[in-house]
């Protein structure tokens, strides 16, 4: 188990009812953590349409999480 | 070249001056405005949110790609965040180039990639009082 900080943006933030939280997780990758959170909060978006950033850098969903990481979850974007 | 996220109204004339180059014979600009409807719903206002640091970084990448793909002189893009009213300018793209073809193509590329890739989100406020996040990434 490791401790990470999850940050939620836009629709994810509203769905989770918070913009960040500390989590203790057995997830090994960002994708696994998204799976856990999707179950917890009912995030319905397919991961392929969302993005993840770690410590303010866009990252691959398969990146291995490390203790202390700040993991940012971005729902599908809609600028313009 | 610069890609900016801003919480104050966009000044198109000021951004246009950044495009001026003596080798430029064409200037193409695009403005995205807040419209009063979307997918059959009456829209009263829009609210944009961004991760500013990553949005400006991804946006700068898009401008660099446009410069590499098309024969342009320079390009700028500015996108609003915060609450906008009907008719407000939400996004402004400007490109200068030697000739019009590259300017049109690059301008189209920049707005399309911005909508698809840059971490900006849009919430619609409907006449009914409801709100909804828009999922409009098109690919």
Rounded to two decimals, the ipTM of the complex is 0.91
For residue B14, name the pLDDT band (cuts at 50, 70, 90): very high
User: Given this model, what pLDDT does residue B30 score?
Assistant: 98
Confidence of residue A52 (pLDDT cuts 50, 70, 90): very high
Is residue B139 pLDDT above 60, yes or no?
Answer: no
Pairing verdict, β A57-59 and A70-74: unpaired
pLDDT digits (tens, 9 = 90+) for B19-65: 999 999 999 999 999 999 998 889 999 999 999 999 999 999 999 99
Q: What's the CA angle centered on A44, arms A42 and A49, to 5 degrees?
A: 140
Residue A59: pLDDT over 70: yes
Cα A44 → chain centroid: 13
**pLDDT tens column, B61-110:** 999 999 999 999 999 999 999 999 999 999 999 999 999 999 999 999 99
Minimal Cβ distance to A10: which of B53, B133, B137 = B133
Phi and psi (nearest 5°) for B30? -130, 135
* Average pLDDT over every residue of A54-62: 95
pLDDT, tens digit (0-9, with 9 covering 90-100), for A70-80: 999 999 999 99
Q: What is the pLDDT of residue B136?
A: 60
Residues of B in contact with A49 (CB under 8 A): 135, 137
- Which residues in chain A (7-66) have CB-CB distances under 8 A to chain B? 9-11, 14, 45, 49, 51, 53, 56, 58
Of B32, B111, B120, the CB nearest to A77: B120
pLDDT given for residue A55 in this prediction: 95
- In chain B the domains, ranked by start, together with CATH numbers, are 2-130 (3.90.1170.40)
* pLDDT score, position A60: 97
Asked if the model's pLDDT at residue A11 lies above 70, the reply is: yes
Identify all chain A residues contacting B122, using CB atoms and an 8 Å cutoff: 78-79
User: What is the pLDDT confidence band of residue B7, given thresholds at 50, 70 and 90?
Assistant: very high
DSSP β-bridge partners for residue A7: A20, A72
Task: List chain B residues with CB under 8 Å of A75.
Answer: 121, 133, 135
Domains and CATH numbers, chain A: 2-74 (3.10.20.30)
Q: What is the pLDDT of residue B39?
A: 86
Q: Would the pLDDT of B137 be above 60?
A: no
How many Cα atoms occupy the beta-carbon half-sphere of B45 within 13 Å?
9
Q: If you count residue pairs, one on A and one on B, with CB atoms under 8 Å apart, how many are there? A: 65
Is the model's pLDDT at B138 over the cut of 60?
no
Q: What share of chain A is helix, strand, coil (3-state, %, to 5)?
A: 30, 35, 40
Which chain A residues touch B84 with a CB distance below 8 Å? Answer: none
For position B135, what pLDDT does the model report? Answer: 77
Handedness of CA B36, B42, B47, B48 (dihedral sign): negative
Asked if the C-beta of B111 comes within 8 angstroms of chain A's C-beta atoms, the answer is yes
E-state strands within chain B: 2-6, 26-33, 37-38, 41-50, 72-80, 82-85, 89-97, 120-126, 131-133
Coil, strand, or helix at residue B63?
A: helix
Please, which residues 59-98 of chain B have a Cβ atom closer than 8 Å to chain A?
79, 90-91
Q: Does B138 touch chain A (CB under 8 A)?
A: no
Rounded to two decimals, the pTM is: 0.93
Mean pLDDT of A9-35: 97
- Determine which of B90, B118, B121 to mutate to test the interface with A (most A C-beta atoms within 10 Å): B121
Q: Do A78 and B115 touch (CB under 8 A)?
A: yes
Strand B89-97, strand B131-133: pairing? unpaired
Give bridge partners of residue B121 from the DSSP assignment.
B49
d(CA B29, CA B117): 20
Containing H/E element for A7? strand A2-8
């Amino acid at each position: 188990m490791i401790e990470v900080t999850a940050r939620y943006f836009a629709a994810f933030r509203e769905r989770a009812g918070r913009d960040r939280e500390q989590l203790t997780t057995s997830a090994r990758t960002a994708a696994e953590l998204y799976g856990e959170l999707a179950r917890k909060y009912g995030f319905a978006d397919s991961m392929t349409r969302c993005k993840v950033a770690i410590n303010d850098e866009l990252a691959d969903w398969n990146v291995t999480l490390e203790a202390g990481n700040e993991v940012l979850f971005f729902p599908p974007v809609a600028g313009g | 070249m610069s890609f900016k996220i801003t919480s104050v109204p966009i000044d198109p004339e000021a951004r246009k001056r950044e495009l001026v180059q003596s080798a430029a014979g064409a200037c193409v600009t695009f403005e995205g405005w807040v419209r009063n409807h979307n997918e059959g719903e009456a829209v009263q206002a829009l609210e944009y949110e961004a991760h500013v640091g990553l949005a400006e970084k991804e946006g700068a990448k898009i401008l660099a790609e446009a410069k590499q793909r098309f024969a342009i002189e320079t390009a700028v893009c500015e996108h609003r965040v915060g609450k906008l009213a009907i008719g407000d300018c939400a996004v402004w793209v400007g490109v200068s180039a030697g000739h019009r073809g590259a300017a049109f193509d690059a301008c189209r590329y920049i707005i399309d990639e911005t909508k698809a890739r840059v971490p900006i989100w849009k919430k619609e406020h409907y006449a009914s009082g409801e709100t909804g996040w828009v999922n409009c990434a098109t690919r």
